[in-house]
Structure 1
Amino acid sequence: MAGRFSGRRILVTGGAGFLGSHLCERLLEEGAEVLCVDNYFTGRRNNIAHLLGNPLFEAMRHDVTFPLFVEVDGIFNFACPASPVHYQSDPVATTKVSVHGAINMLGLAKRLKCPILQASTSEVYGDPTMHPQPEHYWGHVNPIGPRACYDEGKRCAETLFFDYYRQHDLAIKVMRIFNTYGPRMHPNDGRVVSNFIVQALKNEPITIYGDGEQSRSFCYVDDLIEGALRLMASSAEVTGPINIGNPNEFTIKQLAEAVIRLVGSKSELIRMPLPQDDPKQRRPDITQARQVLKWEPTIQLDEGLLKTIKYFDELLNN
């Protein structure tokens, strides 16, 4: 099907990851030729196995902390472990992939004179003192804490993107991704949605950190990818940063109760201490996305959870 990216060769770094694999799939549907690059630190071959037979799809094993020499018409930079379990397992590598990876991909985009989109994160806001979080908010981040490798790595990547934009007139796009969930999430990534679903399907106790009153907003993956595509296809003067996420806010306890209800599980809730620097609240202000991209999420929590539960149920039973 021809679409916004028809006939263009698009590089997706982190393309075998949760978000990257969905992005590769959608780009192919849009008629693009897709080069998927991943070092498989958190990405998985199973996520892209169904795409390998497509003549417009190519998978390359590569670590973006090293330069990449390819010819493409656009770059989506999604390479980086995104869950605390994974990014804290090797914090130095996490900072390297955010910073060195950004430098290498920006250098490639500069050489090719092609647009590049950075998958940034709501973690740039840290544990916010402003709620909900608009793009002009500078954040409240602990620069030496256990989450800093990811938070500050992504903040530095944004700095680099805007410096390349100002210094080299590079066509950049920066999207700040809020909590996203859906099929192909890593079952052991330690994130609340995957944790709760796996525990509920096994009728195991569901682990809540703290009192469960901390809040999050959960965006279904299909909505998130549509936001990324709209941002990349937007006019050159639209650089971002733009928040992409679902503004409906739920406490962690409410999420756990919803998962138990939808699974029909016998799981009970147990409480554990809250991790250091864990944000108390997180909700995007998506005014810019609505106005500039004409984007807002269409899939609400119950519908998205049912699709995600189905995926994990099949995964656990195979």
Structure 2
Amino acid sequence: MMKNTIRKKILVTGGAGFLGSHLCDRLLSDGHDVLCVDNLYTGTKDNIKHLIANPFFELMRHDVTMPLYVEVDEIYNLACPASPIHYQHDPVQTTKTCVHGSINMLGLAKRLNARILQASTSEVYGDPRIHPQTEDYWGHVNPIGSRSCYDEGKRCAETLFFDYYRQHNLDIKVARIFNTYGTRMHPNDGRVVSNFIVQALKNQSITVYGSGEQTRSFCYVDDLIEALVRMMGTGNSFTGPVNLGNPVEFTILELAEKVIEMTGSSSKINFESLPQDDPIQRQPDISLARERLGWEPSISLEQGLKKTITYFEQLLF
């Protein structure tokens, strides 16, 4: 039964990825017609195989760095590898995906007069000098480092979105996504939550970079998807950018210890040197999201980890 009176045709780029597949689930359950576009570079059909038989779901294998000609009402632009292992594997292509991909999707939105949401990132803040991070902070980013393809690519994408807004009066939304985790994460994506869970389940040494005192804030995927849908539903007077993430802060060492405890693992913690430009602190100020979206996370780290650990247990064993 449709929850909405109008069935919209919605394009989700990167729709076979971790976040994209959960967003496709949500939009279909809300009664919409979903076109999932993905080149399957980091996304996988496994994430969306349960949707293939749905007559209101369609998968199109396509790279957003090439123009796309379809008819839709709304666009969620999530296409881009998001973990350092994947986005550093082909950094030139990562920048192209952020920049050329945004140009192509913005051009499509302009032709269709469609609302478009950009999945930006907390990485636009770089290694921040203010804490927690607010949307008016311009960031502290290395433009020539190994992470720059992603950091600066996403920053340039935001520039393009706001220039289309100013120059063409396009209806845009920009969401800055902080660390998100949950089911369908790739087991080898190098992100801290998936790394720790996989290592713990295999009783391998858990790799902690630096002293482990660097902090992150972890948002469960269901909370994040709710925020994206609410952001898309705001009036055209609200463009963002808006921080989306969990404001509860944990050290990486605390996360490692919690994962070991929850998995009953015999893993030991192994400390290694900190990667280049790895942020020391990362915590969103979500005051704007609370005010404009009426949103804040409801799933605790323990609740989210329990679901994610169960997923990886089934995946690995």
TM-score tier (shorter) = over 0.9
Q: Name the counterpart of 2:281.
A: 281
Q: CA deviation at 1:209?
A: 0.4
CA contact (8 A) 1:181 1:220 kept: yes
Counterpart for residue 261 of structure 1: 261
Q: Pairwise mapping of residues 6-85 of structure 1 onto structure 2 (< 5 A)?
A: 6-85=6-85
In structure 1, C-alpha distance between the alignment counterparts of 2:188 and 2:54, rounded to whole Å: 29
Q: CA deviation at 1:255?
A: 0.3
Write out aligned runs for 1:1-318 (5 A). 1-4=1-4, 6-317=6-317
Offset at residue 18 of structure 1 (A):
0.1
**Which consecutive residues of structure 1, in runs of 5 or more, have no partner in the other structure?**
none
Question: Counterparts of 1:188 and 1:5 in 2: how far apart (Å)?
Answer: 41
SS state at 2:137 partner? coil
Cα distance in 1 for partners of 2:105, 2:293 equals 24
Report the Cα offset of residue 213 of structure 1.
0.3
User: What TM-score results when the alignment is normalised by the length of structure 2?
Assistant: 0.99
What is the CA-CA distance between 1:304 and the residue it aligns to? 0.1
Tell me, yes or no, if the aligned pair for 1:5 and 1:27 is still in contact at 8 Å: no
Distance 2:142 2:151 in 1: 9
* 1:145 maps to amino acid: G
Task: State the Cα distance separating 1:2 from its structure 2 match.
Answer: 2.4
Secondary structure at 2:313's aligned position in 1? helix
Structure 2 residue matching 1:271: 3-state secondary structure: strand
Aligned mates of 2:80, 2:190 — CA distance in 1: 16
How big is the alpha-carbon RMSD for the aligned residues of Structure 1 and Structure 2? 0.7
**SS of the residue 2:48 aligns to:** helix
AA in 1 matched with 2:225: I
Q: CA deviation at 1:281?
A: 0.4
2: distance between equivalents of 1:207 and 1:16? 28
Stretches of structure 2 lacking an aligned partner (at least 5 in a row) = none
What is the alpha-carbon distance in structure 2 between the residues aligned to residue 291 and residue 113 of structure 1? 27
CA distance in 2 between counterparts of 1:67 and 1:163 reads 19
Of 3-12 and 69-78, the range deviating more from structure 2:
3-12
* Rounded Cα–Cα distance in structure 2 between residues aligned with 1:39 and 1:114: 23
- Aligned to 2:290, the other structure's residue is in SS state helix
AA aligned to 2:72 is: V
Query: How far 1:26 moved relative to its partner?
Result: 0.2
CA–CA distance in structure 2, aligned partners of residues 94 and 218 of structure 1: 24
- Residue 5 (structure 1) shift: 8.1
Q: Distance in 1 between matches of 2:245 and 2:155?
A: 18
Deviation at residue 3 of structure 1 after TM alignment:
3.1
| Contact map agreement 1:64 1:105 (CA 8 A) in 2 | yes
Identity over aligned residues, as a percent?
Answer: 70
The C-alpha deviation readout for 1:274-310, integer Å capped at 9, x for no partner, is 0000000000000000000000000010000000000
Q: Is 1:5–1:30's contact at 8 Å kept on the other side of the alignment?
A: no
CA distance in 2, matches of 1:5, 1:186: 36
* Matched residue SS, 1:302: helix
TM-score, scaled to structure 1 = 0.99
For 2:209 and 2:234, the matched residues in 1 are separated by 39
Q: Distance in 2 between matches of 1:309 and 1:83?
A: 19
Counterpart code for 1:235: G
The structural deviation recorded for 1:4 is 5.0
Q: Could you say if the C-alpha distance between residues 20 and 5 of structure 1 is closer, same or farther in structure 2, counting changes exceeding 3 Å?
A: farther
Q: Which amino acid in the other structure matches residue 140 of structure 1?
A: H
Distance in 2, Cα, partners of 1:229 & 1:237: 16
